Structure 1
Amino acid sequence: MTKAPFVAMSAATAVLGTALGALALQLRANGYEQYVESVATFSVLMYVTAALVAVTWIRDGRPRSN
């Protein structure tokens, strides 16, 4: 399997996590406290997903033994 899908997916989810984190900060600054926790949780979820994709990328590159 090529490395490009792993890199693109990991980068895209990390960028989405960053954007959602910025949105959570903006919501807090504008007084929309009821939405901050949900958006921040989803931001963390995107970072975890990016990390798991990176782990999959690393594991895919390891030689297989039969």
Structure 2
Amino acid sequence: MTKGPFVAMAAVTATLGTVLAAFALQLRADGYEQYVESVATFSVLMFVTAVLTAVTWVRDGRPNTN
């Protein structure tokens, strides 16, 4: 299996997590406190998804044994 999809998905989800974290900080600065928790939670979810994708990428590279 090629590594391209793993790398692309991990990069995109990590980038999305970063953008959402910045957006949460901007919402807090602008006074939209009621939305900060939801956006921050989704940001953390994107970072966790990126890490799990990277773990899958590493595990896929290991030789298969039966």
Superposition TM-score, scaled by structure 1 size = 0.99
Q: Where does 1:1-66 land on structure 2 (aligned, <5 Å)?
A: 1-66=1-66
The one-letter amino acid of 2:5's match is P
Deviation per CA, 1:24-61: give whole Å up to 9, x if none.
Answer: 00000000000000000000000000000000000000
What number of residue pairs does the alignment pair up? 66
**CA distance, structure 2, for counterparts of residue 16 and residue 54 of structure 1:** 15
Shift of 1:7: 0.2
Q: For the residues of structure 1 that align with 2:37 and 2:49, how far apart are their CA atoms?
A: 18
Q: TM-score normalised to the size of structure 2?
A: 0.99
Q: Taking every aligned residue pair, what percent have the same amino acid on both sides?
A: 79
* Cα RMSD, aligned residues only: 0.3
Could you list the structure 1 runs, at least 4 aligned residues long, displaced by more than 3 angstroms after superposition: none
Unaligned runs of 5+ residues in structure 2 are none
